[in-house]
Structure 1
C-alpha cells in the first residue's frame, strides 16, 4: 500500500493510526487505553489483528479461488512460490475447495 506521496506506508503508522483504530471502532479489539506519558499510541500486540491480517485474508481467498500460486507469489512480492505455499497453506479455509470436490463425488 502506498500513501498520497506514492511511497510505501509505514506499517507502524498504519497499525497505530489507521488499522487498530478501525478495529476498535468496529468492536473487534478493545479501544485504546490512556496513552503513555510521551503520547505514543500503544495498542495491545496481536498477530491476529495486526497489519498483515488483510494480506493473509487476500492470499487465502486467492488460493481458495484457485489462483495460481506462482501468480500469487508474484503479487505478494515473494521470489519463491514455495514460500507462499508454506506461509498461507495453514489457513483455515485452505483446501476447502478440494475437500468439497471429493465430498461431491461421494454424495
Structure 2
C-alpha cells in the first residue's frame, strides 16, 4: 500500500557481514569496492578491487567485466554499492550482492 517509493523490485541481494564473507570466498567471486580511491586506500577488504561509482570511468570498467561471475560490492555504508549493484543488474549481471551496512559495519580485518 505504501510502497510507492520503489517502482521495481531489487534485482540484487543485500547480504549480512557473515553471508558476504562466506560468498566472497567462492572461486568465481569478484569483490568490488565502489568508494573513492582515497577511501579505498584508507582500508579495504582483502582482495577487493576499486571501481569508484562516482568516477568518470565507472561504466566503462563495469562493461568490461565478465557477466558470469558473482560480484560482491561494498562502500562505506551500503548505499553507493546498492546503486552500483542496481546498475550492474540493469546491464545484465545476474549475481550482484551488496554488503548491507557497508564497510562501517564490517567486523573483520581490513587491509
TM-score of the pair, normalised by structure 2: 0.24
More RCO (CA 8 Å, sep 6+): 2
* Larger Rg, first or second structure (1 or 2): 1
- Greater helix content: 1
